[in-house]
Amino acid sequence: MPIERPRMRRLALLAAALLAAAHGAGAIAGDAQGWQLASEQERVAVYTRAVADSEYLAVKATVRIDAPALQVAALMGDGSECMAWRDMCRSTRVLDAVSADERYVYMVLDLPWPLADRDLVIHSRTEHDPASDSATIHLNSASSRYPQQDYVRAETRGRFVIRKLDEHATEFTYIMHTELGGNAPVGMVNGRLTQTARDDLQRLRAMAEG
């Protein structure tokens, strides 16, 4: 049985609140080239790759979750508050709900010491693909939509995919790249990508399956 399209699109859009947080801004191609496997534990595979004109790596993480796609999508919230499984998400709020498939979200990231917290403005656009029983949330910075607050402004770009495998299993994937701005040390940021992605997806899987 395919995912109910209206409901799946609604829930997938809510995944815009994911906003991937600390990972995203340069161009991210849709192909699978250049990714290097960084970690594979407990059904979570994490890959990284270089991005042109950026010192910060892009990250791709994917996990199989033994729960229905709608149940996974429901954990994304509605954009008005952070999801419990996103460790560095300090706060989010919807700035403008353009339509059922498009919105602008403001997000604050709680970065580890000694880094200062960051904020982002994200434009999210959701596409549903009946052929693959999946929903893709395209995420791009839209900093001009909201003035910078008392944080360093970060820029991000990426996408999230919720794909139904069967009635009781889902594949969740995100691909992100972030320019954190300020003076964030490249080695420190790149060195944390793999563990942060793995921990977040393991937390998501545990919540969905619990």
Beta strand ranges found along the chain (DSSP E): 36-41, 44-49, 58-65, 89-99, 102-109, 118-129, 134-141, 152-153, 155-166, 169-179
> How confident is the prediction for the chain on average, in pLDDT?
85
- What single-letter amino acid sits at 138? H
Radius of gyration of the chain (CA): 16
Residues ≥6 apart with Cβ < 8 Å to 208? 65, 67, 71, 72, 75, 170
Query: Which 3 state secondary structure label does DSSP give 101?
Result: coil
Query: What's the confidence (pLDDT) of residue 32?
Result: 64
| Block mean pLDDT (10 aa), the chain, length 210 | 48 40 41 87 95 96 95 81 87 93 93 92 90 89 95 94 95 95 93 95 94
Query: What's the confidence (pLDDT) of residue 31?
Result: 53
**Through-space distance between the first and last CA atoms of the chain, rounded to whole angstroms:** 23
Tokens of 10: 């609604």
Of residues 74, 107, 92, the one with CA closest to residue 204: 74
Query: What's the confidence (pLDDT) of residue 22?
Result: 34
pLDDT over 90, % of the chain: 64
Query: What's the confidence (pLDDT) of residue 14?
Result: 45
Report field, pTM of the whole predicted structure over 0.85: no
Question: Domains plus CATH for the chain?
Answer: 5-30+39-209 (3.30.530.20)
Query: What's the confidence (pLDDT) of residue 27?
Result: 42
Query: What's the confidence (pLDDT) of residue 6?
Result: 47
Using one digit for the tens of pLDDT, what is the confidence trace for 29-84? 445 679 999 999 989 999 999 999 999 999 999 999 999 998 988 887 777 888 88
